[in-house]
Structure 1
């Protein structure tokens, strides 16, 4: 029996006007964890969709050999029948159904045409134990966090007798603890003989867990490396991904900090769903023109809640405190008020809240400030097109035209559309919530360059990020948040990961 459980040879996949994959080759050894790395748009997810039957045989050129046998999958059901299971970045779970129902959805445990609930819940419990998830199988999926939902997806794959498990960005939305648990689980599955293919932008995790790495760039295979034999480093992976060495992960920037642009005082926010629970407590913060300010905090610290509540009270209840713009007290009670006062908020979840994925780039860019394009109540299509084209050029949005559907862009280009939308409003205070989440290192560099350019134009920028190296490399000053309270304010020259973590982990008893 060959050492390779999977071979893909000469895979070419074309969409209208775009060659997504060109003569791609991939070999995966039996019982290994094989990572696939590449920039957004390099073809990683497309290759896995070809393998799993999302793109059926006949829609691509090339051959797939699984266990030495040619495969011509017409659907996902065909690939799952062979033991190939893919878990997409957007989890395919039904939130109102129980964990057990989700695990066996489409693969029900039935007897005489009726679902055997005792067997369903019993087998689900066994699978949950196997993935290290201590939850009752009858618990609705809506009641558990994203990290646990990822484990439910893996339990679902195990129920299908998986032999090759494909995970697309499995830790993108997880905190450090959940990510570590998931990686430990994958190591355990490898020890059981299950082969894993993982797509990830988190290169430190790739190096920690992978046995082999294949790099794709512009739809082509660049190289495959063995972790034990090829002296793999993050810099070497990055060089293969982007086709050049990145001497620095962050573009050079000389700050020119001006007058105060935004100040919040004694800002307090209560949860809209848990009566009496403070999610932000007495926060004070100042942003200056030309300054990039970071906001660091552990998962659940209240970073997004603080940002959204300041942006027109779009989160929270019983909000109190004061907002000053250019030193003057202002009332901001709606998103419209926030935009009128030059405040913009780019959400951390661009696909759900930041963009209309089924509409084109042009409409997405103009959406936040349509009145600017209106003449006698009608949108000036010519002007809307011109504005969008200007942003496509200045932001380097990689798309054939501004009429391209936004949902078909890579993550980095979608993020550029989000930024373009808010820059179009002429906002001079930009709150960017996880602006580089789910995008590759090359696209991150471009986003950092855009942020620096905006600061040089005199805009005040607040960057919320879960990645401390990102805040340290980008920001002029960093606030830390713990349990809804500002616990520290650190200048760039004094900031270290250890110091930030010290402030981020302060409990309420230490803060008072």
Structure 2
């Protein structure tokens, strides 16, 4: 059986031998019993990855977002949370706990039935995603192919899609500015492609995810909501995305990170909110949070 995967736990669980291919070229082959996870990662990435979860020191500031007793019938129950400037707030929980539903409610993709949303100390009404964008909240979906990107279009068209109105003068798009902005984010996020004219559908999963994040950053968000930001990407792209998230927080962006990857949540978040049956059952500080504690309240 030939089994192709970038999930290391699967490789070590079922494979007898492992061969690494990078950028279309053969790298190495080894018995799985004779290679470590660190060595395999180094072969896959082309360098040693010392830290999959780079976490920069950030002076966390004041509250920028508060949810007070937010409810959606049959979905969310009495949600109370706050997000601070420069903070990475992790949302954890088992499948069906309401993680994605909470992210979509905050960003106006679904309507809350009761409760309050407070931005910078003032109560706001977020009627839809457009109004969320106006308040500086941007959501990156867990499903980049169906909800995050237009796969048949090129990189620049995807990145600038939400800001075409800003790029337009008398309803004519400034194509030079579109290219300037797209090249900036392609460089900042290290998107690997021949050019900004490359079709997104031809990119790897990791580079597609970077395009989805670039599309969000082009909106100049104040609050970035990331739903499963590294799902389906290889370990090298995962490390790069984590480093970018840390850098954005250091620059003052407030980030909500929804993830089913518990090591990712523990490695990146300043606080961890654990959800169960549509409500937040516990919030841990970074120092308090462990896999055992988070799982214990998730079950």
TM-score bin (small chain): over 0.9
**In 1: Cα distance, 2:112 partner to 2:200 partner:** 36
Structure 2 gaps of 5+ residues are none
Q: Structure 1 length normalisation: TM-score?
A: 0.57
Q: Structure 2 length normalisation: TM-score?
A: 0.97
SS at match of 2:274: strand
Aligned to 1:263: 66
Aligned to 1:34: none
**In 1: Cα distance, 2:50 partner to 2:28 partner:** 21
**Cα displacement (A) at 1:318:** 6.0
Tell me if the contact between 1:207 and 1:233 (Cα under 8 Å) persists in the aligned partners.
no
**In 2: Cα distance, 1:398 partner to 1:483 partner:** 40
Aligned to 2:121: 327
Tell me if the contact between 1:365 and 1:417 (Cα under 8 Å) persists in the aligned partners.
yes
Aligned to 1:410: 204
Aligned to 1:291: 87
Q: Deviation per CA, 1:95-147, whole angstroms, max 9, x where unpaired?
A: xxxxxxxxxxxxxxxxxxxxxxxxxxxxxxxxxxxxxxxxxxxxxxxxxxxxx
SS at match of 1:466: coil
Q: Is residue 40 of structure 2 the alignment partner of residue 237 of structure 1?
A: yes
Task: Return the match for 2:23 from 205, 214, 218.
Answer: 218
RMSD: 1.2
Q: Deviation per CA, 1:67-107, whole angstroms, max 9, x where unpaired?
A: xxxxxxxxxxxxxxxxxxxxxxxxxxxxxxxxxxxxxxxxx
Tell me if the contact between 1:433 and 1:465 (Cα under 8 Å) persists in the aligned partners.
yes
**Cα displacement (A) at 1:262:** 1.0
Tell me if the contact between 1:293 and 1:478 (Cα under 8 Å) persists in the aligned partners.
yes
SS at match of 2:287: helix
SS at match of 1:197: coil
**In 2: Cα distance, 1:427 partner to 1:325 partner:** 13
Q: Which has the larger radius of gyration?
A: 1
**Cα displacement (A) at 1:363:** 0.9
Q: Is residue 107 of structure 2 the alignment partner of residue 304 of structure 1?
A: no
Tell me if the contact between 1:211 and 1:226 (Cα under 8 Å) persists in the aligned partners.
yes
Task: Return the match for 1:248 from 34, 39, 51.
Answer: 51
- Higher mean Cα deviation, 317-326 or 431-440? 317-326
SS at match of 1:200: coil
Q: How many residues align?
A: 299
Within a 5 Å distance, the mapping from 1:375-390 to structure 2 comes to: 375-390=169-184
**In 1: Cα distance, 2:245 partner to 2:126 partner:** 25
